[in-house]
Structure 1
Amino acid sequence: MMIWETARPYLYARKTPGNRIIIGGLDESTGYLRKGIQFILNNREKIIKQLVNLFPELENRIWADYYWGALFFEIHDGLPTAGMYRPS
């Protein structure tokens, strides 16, 4: 089963074998690149808090074994690209 909360920013979660949860989301638009582990750790805590908001019985019973951050890029016109992007 997968849960997809469609609020903005969205949140998704699913249970895996071994009684684990994969959870992600809370994407945000930004015009600049934020670097550093502190940014990733802060988002990790926000995502865990959102999961506990949905399932209060998990409070003080969950932690992150693994976590990561990723970037998604779009160009100004929203069209797909293949190969090198050359702005006009």
Structure 2
Amino acid sequence: MPELIVTDIRMPGSMDGLTLLKVVRADHPTLPVIVVSGHIAFMGKIYAQTEFITKPYSFDRVHQSIKMLLYASAEDAKKY
């Protein structure tokens, strides 16, 4: 099982990143997910344990999101 998923909204094939996010959330509601897009500006939260990053993005922005999501995931795990 991965510790974190990073997906783009636009992907080849029949599934886009938001559909992937819904599938992941159905089975793994606390798995951290980063969704990126250069075509859609999203305002607000998608789900808990989810970050939306617009392109172009910096390494620092992605790094901060990863650290925040993994820390939150670890804190959630301590509750159980």
TM bucket (normalised to shorter chain) is 0.3 to 0.5
| Rg (Cα) greater in structure | 1
Name the structure where helix makes up a greater proportion of residues: 2
Structure showing greater relative contact order (alpha-carbon pairs closer than 8 Å, 6 or more residues apart) = 2
